[in-house]
Amino acid sequence: MSRKYNFSAGPAALPAEVLEQARDEMLDWHGQGLSIMEMSHRSDAFVSVAEQAEQDLRDLMSIPDNYRVLFLQGGATSQFAMVPLNLLGDKTSADYINTGIWSKKGIAEARRYGYVRIAGSTESEQFTRVPTQDELELDPNAAYVHYTPNETIGGVEYNYIPDTGSVPLVADMSSSILSREIDVSRFGLIYAGAQKNIGPAGLTVVIVREDLLGKAAAATPAMFDYQVHAGADSMNNTPPTFGWYLAGLVFKWLKRQGGVAAIEAVNRRKAAKLYDYIDSSSFYANPIAPDCRSWMNVPFTLANAGLDGMFLEQAEAAGLLNLQGHRSVGGMRASLYNAVPEAAVDALIEFMQTFAQQHA
């Protein structure tokens, strides 16, 4: 068996150690004679797995006690609707910051439920940076402020947490959760689809401050009501048990790496190496303002787009997978999530150097 280096934006690389453990436990979980996928979500065995995963995530992110952690389905895209349905309450509008494709999708969905005020946007600059705190025009009467800390497609990331005063801050952290330390108490709600930095697709993690629960619009489907899920410990119906279990293995793995502070240092180094190389080369380019560059998703272009196909073909032959940029932007994108080892970045840079020499 040879595992290649996987730069996929999502579903993305998982730690080999985690996959090996899941394999070893697949047919017979802890001597129970069946797999974790085949047991009741209400069994003592699964409930212990579920509770441990939540505790490990709480430890990793230092989640305060007045926050609930929910293990849901429907992806981040369902959260685009759940957030306004649950948080608008008796307010009439919410503030959204527009920094790219994922922000726009959140905005479009929220418009189905209420008035969306754009509190900041860098669209006129092709999303090559995010707004500064000073540029935000926040409405103190907004129900909440929604933003996208890391734009997975554009490769633009905030290096600060917006200060929204007493208005709850909501973050779509799908592609940056657990990549660096954050102060959870600055947020009203954090959500993330699991398939980038947490585990397999099919699981969505929501971290929500307790006082924001219980205000869902009357017609909200029960499955879209955070209060319903919080009241049932995320077992209002059958939860995504395998994803929850695997996320738990990833959380344990992250703890073994030294936790979020330790992986943050690795992530910072991985990204710096790749950006430094791109900037030093006249063959490759990245358009994002240096202080807004994503640590997780690094888009880059070749001087001659006619070589894109050959680049991808030769990269794949060299064991470097899934470097093709998003279909909406073209070029390349290397996603450097937690589970992508530093050696993968070294191998990518070496390949890029060789390719540039051959085609400059």
Ligand X SMILES: *Cc1c(COP(=O)(O)O)cnc(C)c1O
Give residues in contact with ligand X (CB under 6 A). Answer: 10, 75-77, 102, 148, 152, 172, 174-175, 193, 196
CB of 169 to ligand X, least distance (A): 15
Among 29, 95, 102, 244, the active-site one is 102
**Residue 122, annotated as binding a ligand:** no
CB of 2 to ligand X, least distance (A): 28
CB of 294 to ligand X, least distance (A): 10
CB of 153 to ligand X, least distance (A): 8
Q: Are 198 and 54 in contact (CB under 8 A)?
A: no
Q: Are 352 and 35 in contact (CB under 8 A)?
A: no
Q: Which residue is nearest to ligand X (CB)?
A: 75
Q: Are 236 and 308 in contact (CB under 8 A)?
A: no
**Residue 233, annotated as binding a ligand:** no
Q: Nearer Cβ to ligand X, position 174 or 324? A: 174
Give the Cα separation of 82 and 295 in Å (integer).
28
**Residue 346, annotated as binding a ligand:** no
Q: Nearer Cβ to ligand X, position 106 or 188? A: 106
Catalytic residue status for 255 = no
Return all residues near 135 (Cβ < 8 A) that are at least 6 apart: 120
Q: How is 20-60 classified by DSSP, letter by letter?
A: HHHHHHSSSGGGSSS-GGGS-TTSHHHHHHHHHHHHHHHHH
Q: Nearer Cβ to ligand X, position 190 or 352? A: 190
CA atoms within 13 A on the CB side of 164: 27
CB of 148 to ligand X, least distance (A): 5
Catalytic residue status for 196 = yes
Give the Cα separation of 251 and 25 in Å (integer).
17
Give the Cα separation of 271 and 268 in Å (integer).
5
β-bridge mates for residue 123, sequence order = none
Helix (H, G, I), strand (E, B) or coil at 67: strand
Q: Are 114 and 92 in contact (CB under 8 A)?
A: yes
**Residue 237, annotated as binding a ligand:** yes
Pairing between β-strand 150-151 and β-strand 145-147 as defined by DSSP bridges:
unpaired
Catalytic residue status for 308 = no
**Residue 102, annotated as binding a ligand:** yes
Give the Cα separation of 169 and 146 in Å (integer).
6
**Residue 244, annotated as binding a ligand:** no
Among 29, 56, 95, 172, the active-site one is 172
Among 29, 56, 95, 196, the active-site one is 196
Annotated binding site for pyridoxal 5'-phosphate: 76-77, 102, 152, 172, 195, 237-238
Annotated binding site: 42, 76-77, 102, 152, 172, 195, 237-238
The residues annotated as belonging to the active site are 102, 172, 196
Annotated binding site for L-glutamate: 42
